[in-house]
């Protein structure tokens, strides 16, 4: 039977996006086009010819094809796709395709370099939402070990992408945007913290000049990995521009024995007109996964900022009573319930309910909480260990280290080596026992230090890669045994937010800072990748615990509304007035969470930096909620009309203030001067007019917001 010839191209199309792969010539796949849909009748041979570069004869005579895994053997002298060697040899590969399969939007290309003794499988997919995702699996087909130092995958972007957006940050100020010119050379963002990191690139986006939320072409990549990783943008004087990423492997971390394989994390790419469309592709893709939360996201009360380590049954029962009274649906007991854990310097690893604090176990509290109709959740930090713990005294060799020297402590913590089978088994048994003993429906899974000198003992071999895989395996096995338990990824706040951990968790804690002003930016840029229902957003007390700013309750609650709403506040100490107002906001969240957690997130490009406009529009355009937020004093008085993006341009909408976010707290209102349309009757106009002309925003004091509802007539 004759062999089926390999295709010389693959044109993948979905959701307005085309990905055209050139498979000709027997070398690794190259991307001819990634961007707007070219149409079903595209002549790929003509496209290949039209885009073929002129040979310039520098690195090699002839053309230099740049594959999704670039090779020096092809003449590419930029960032290599594979970095590795076999005892110093086989450092440069020349893979040849041996098989290409296509199944719908998925192309699998298998290649070999028989001289180097290596096999490679590349998977490139265009998802239904228009996301590109790709990964590589490298196999050592030789007889001797092959050391892998890096496997980088790339996606090309056109010369019109002249500006870069990525993110920096720190604890309490995660995901802060920064823009740079996309110039010749290499912009590299490396994360070596052993977790996703506060200052990871998160998304690295390249776009046309001054691209915005709703304008300009944008190409962006994300690395779905919760350990060390590397993201880069590279532009050469040969007119090649790439976005690339991969796991950042520590020296000696991956050495493949004969027959051994290494698989890269998934690299995601999103193209769109404006950042909103780039984000929407991620949101649609996440919402389509089988394990995405399908039930209404419950209102959470977390105890940390209410009681810290002061666990007292009577006080916690009062807090649960107050939580139920305002409409909460889930009560989470935070740090301090186990072992000797009366402060943050001891007890981590001893995952037994403290006899000292809880002589009758957690049952008296769980009975009370569930008796109120609330779900019960528990804080854990399974990957960490205190040196002052029974576990560390019994098994000091379970602590990650380069050998006999322990890494410097952070928060008095070290890292438990989950890649060690005995340590993994212990943690799984402890968590399994807790989940089996108590009616726990939710785990707040924390991770409070960077991985410094994280080695597997006794050899001391670098272990971040193994630790990350062990975490994934632990989460997978726990979820398989306890499928009804939801898990939150928390890591000193928002230090582990990525699509790798989100394949195994149900939400992320956006930041330990719940100052509403700081949260406006942190939440907006977290939402650039993940939808609102996966973002933990809580209402804090009147004075922020992390910044000491004071904010009125409407600003705090209106900020928390856009996410998975919760409360981080000692409600027993709150005034009756504040609790009554909070009850109104909880009721609004419950009314609108169906819209907020299924709709399209939109962000206006408002010219006044003092005002921000964001919102959610129902998928069918029938309903929408917008927030107009004043973050500082404005040079304009008033700011002028604000545009409401994302509505059906041909529909007519009833636009009005939305209670309880209908109080425009500003000088004009306090002087008795009202904005004409700011009444329950509002105005009725078209979606096209609202996007192009907008509505006049009320004058607001800094650090205030109002809500606008738009419902199709």
> 161 near 297, Cβ under 8 Å?
no
Give the pairing of strands 623-630 and 704-712.
antiparallel
* DSSP E strand stretches across 572-622: 600-603, 611-617
Question: Residue 244 corresponds to which tokens in the numbers above?
Answer: 């690339």
- 144 DSSP 8-state letter: S
Maximum pairwise Cα distance, the chain = 88
Task: Please tell me whether the peptide bond between 458 and the residue prior to it is cis, using omega within 30 degrees of 0.
Answer: yes
Question: Residue 669 corresponds to which tokens in the numbers above?
Answer: 């209102």
Question: For residue 45, how many other CB atoms are within 10 A of its CB?
Answer: 12
Instruction: Report the C-alpha gap between 597 and 551 in whole angstroms.
Output: 26
Catalytic residue check, 446: yes
Surface-to-core class of residue 494, CB atoms within 10 Å of its CB (0-12 exposed, 13-18 middle, 19+ buried) = buried
How far is CA 180 from its chain centroid?
Answer: 22
- Give, for 688, the enclosing helix (H) or strand (E): helix 687-692
- What residues contact residue 436 under an 8 Å CB cut-off, 6+ apart? 482
> 411 near 455, Cβ under 8 Å?
no
Instruction: Report the C-alpha gap between 477 and 558 in whole angstroms.
Output: 37
**Annotated catalytic residue, options 350, 446, 506, 515:** 446
Categorise residue 349: left if φ over 0, alpha if ψ from -120 to 50, beta otherwise.
left
The dihedrals phi and psi of 442, each to the nearest 5 degrees, come to -155, 135
Catalytic residue check, 512: yes
What is the DSSP annotation of 618-678? -TTSSEEEEEEEE-S--SSSS--EE--TTS-TTSEEEEEE-TTS----SHHHHTTPPPTT-
Which among 493, 488, 472, 477 is positioned nearest to 377, based on CA atoms?
488
| Half-sphere exposure (Cβ direction) of 246: Cα atoms closer than 13 Å | 26
- 77 DSSP 8-state letter: -
- Residue owning tokens 């209908």: 662
Which among 79, 81, 8, 14 is positioned nearest to 48, based on CA atoms?
8
What is the DSSP annotation of 205-269? EEESTT--SSSSEEEEEEEE-SS-EEEEEEE-TTS-EEEEEEE-PPTTSEEEPTT-EEEPPEEEE
How far is CA 39 from its chain centroid?
Answer: 32
**Annotated catalytic residue, options 335, 512, 515, 578:** 512
What is the DSSP annotation of 507-562? EEE--S---HHHHHHHHHHHTTTS-GGGEEEEEE-SB-TTT--B--HHHHHHHHTS
Instruction: Report the C-alpha gap between 210 and 395 in whole angstroms.
Output: 56
Instruction: Report the C-alpha gap between 626 and 710 in whole angstroms.
Output: 8
Which among 389, 354, 357, 70 is positioned nearest to 234, based on CA atoms?
70
> 82 near 150, Cβ under 8 Å?
yes
CA quadruple 338, 344, 346, 350: dihedral sign: positive
Question: For residue 94, how many other CB atoms are within 10 A of its CB?
Answer: 16
Partners of residue 367 on adjacent β-strands: none
Q: Name the residues annotated as catalytic.
A: 446, 512
């Amino acid at each position: 039977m004759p062999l089926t010839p390999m295709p010389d191209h693959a044109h993948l199309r979905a959701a307005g996006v085309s990905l055209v792969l050139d498979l000709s010539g027997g070398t690794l796949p190259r991307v001819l086009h990634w961007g707007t849909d070219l149409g079903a009748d595209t002549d790929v041979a003509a496209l290949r010819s039209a885009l073929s570069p002129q040979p310039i004869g520098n690195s090699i005579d002839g053309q230099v094809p740049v594959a999704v895994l670039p090779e020096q053997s092809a003449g590419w002298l930029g960032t290599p796709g594979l970095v590795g060697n076999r005892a110093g040899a086989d450092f440069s590969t020349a893979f040849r395709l041996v098989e290409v399969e296509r199944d719908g939007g998925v192309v699998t290309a298998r290649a070999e370099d028989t001289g180097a003794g290596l096999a490679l499988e590349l998977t490139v997919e265009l998802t239904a939402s228009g996301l590109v995702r790709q990964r590589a699996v490298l196999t050592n087909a030789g007889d001797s070990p092959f050391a892998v130092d890096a496997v980088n995958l790339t996606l090309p972007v056109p010369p019109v992408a002249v500006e870069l957006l990525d993110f920096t940050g720190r604890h309490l100020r995660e995901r802060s945007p920064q823009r740079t010119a996309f110039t010749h050379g290499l912009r590299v963002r490396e994360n070596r913290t052993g977790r996703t990191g506060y200052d990871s690139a998160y998304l690295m986006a390249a776009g046309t000049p001054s691209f915005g939320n709703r304008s300009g072409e944008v190409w962006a990549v994300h690395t779905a990995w919760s350990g060390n990783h590397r993201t880069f943008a590279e532009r050469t004087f040969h007119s090649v521009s790439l976005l690339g990423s991969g796991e950042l492997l520590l020296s000696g971390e991956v050495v493949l024995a004969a027959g051994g394989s290494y698989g890269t994390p998934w690299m995601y790419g999103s193209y769109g007109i404006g950042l909103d469309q780039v984000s929407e592709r991620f949101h649609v893709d996440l919402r389509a996964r089988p394990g995405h939360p399908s039930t209404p996201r419950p209102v959470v009360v977390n105890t940390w900022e209410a009681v810290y380590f002061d666990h007292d049954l009577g006080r916690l029962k009062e807090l649960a009573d107050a939580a139920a009274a305002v409409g909460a649906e889930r009560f989470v007991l935070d740090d301090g319930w186990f072992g000797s854990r009366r402060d943050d310097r001891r007890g981590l690893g001893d995952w037994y309910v403290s006899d000292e604090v809880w002589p009758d176990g957690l049952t008296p509290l769980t009975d009370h909480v569930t008796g109120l109709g609330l779900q019960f959740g528990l804080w854990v930090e399974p990957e960490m260990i205190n040196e002052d713990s029974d576990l560390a005294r019994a098994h000091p060799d379970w602590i990650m280290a380069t050998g006999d020297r322990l890494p410097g402590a952070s928060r008095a913590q070290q890292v438990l080596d989950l890649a060690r089978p005995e340590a993994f088994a212990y943690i799984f048994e402890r968590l399994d026992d807790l989940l089996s003993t108590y009616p726990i429906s939710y785990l707040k899974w924390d991770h409070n230090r960077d991985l410094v000198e994280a080695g597997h003992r006794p050899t001391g071999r670098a272990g971040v890669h193994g630790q990350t895989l062990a975490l994934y395996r632990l989460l997978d096995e726990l979820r398989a045994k306890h499928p009804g338990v939801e898990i939150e990824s928390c890591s000193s706040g928002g230090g582990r937010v990525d699509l790798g951990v989100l394949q195994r968790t149900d939400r992320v804690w956006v930041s330990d800072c719940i100052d509403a002003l700081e949260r406006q930016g942190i939440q907006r840029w977290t939402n650039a990748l993940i939808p609102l229902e996966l973002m933990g957003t809580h209402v804090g007390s009147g004075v922020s615990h992390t910044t000491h700013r004071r904010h009125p309750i409407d600003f705090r609650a209106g900020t928390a509304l856009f996410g998975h709403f919760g409360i981080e506040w000692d409600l027993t100490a709150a005034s009756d007035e504040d609790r009554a107002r909070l009850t109104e906001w909880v009721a609004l969240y419950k009314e609108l969470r169906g819209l907020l957690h299924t709709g399209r997130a939109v962000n206006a490009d408002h010219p006044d930096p003092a005002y921000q406009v964001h919102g959610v529009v129902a998928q069918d355009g029938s309903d929408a909620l917008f927030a107009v937020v004043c973050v500082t004093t404005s040079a304009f008085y008033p700011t002028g009309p604000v545009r409401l993006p994302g509505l059906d341009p041909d529909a007519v909408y009833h636009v009005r203030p939305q209670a309880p976010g209908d109080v425009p707290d500003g000088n004009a209102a306090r002087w008795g001067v009202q904005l004409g349309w700011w009444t329950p009757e509002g105005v009725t106009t078209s979606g096209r007019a609202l996007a192009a002309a907008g509505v006049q925003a009320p004058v607001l004091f800094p650090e205030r917001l109002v809500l606008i509802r738009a419902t199709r007539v």
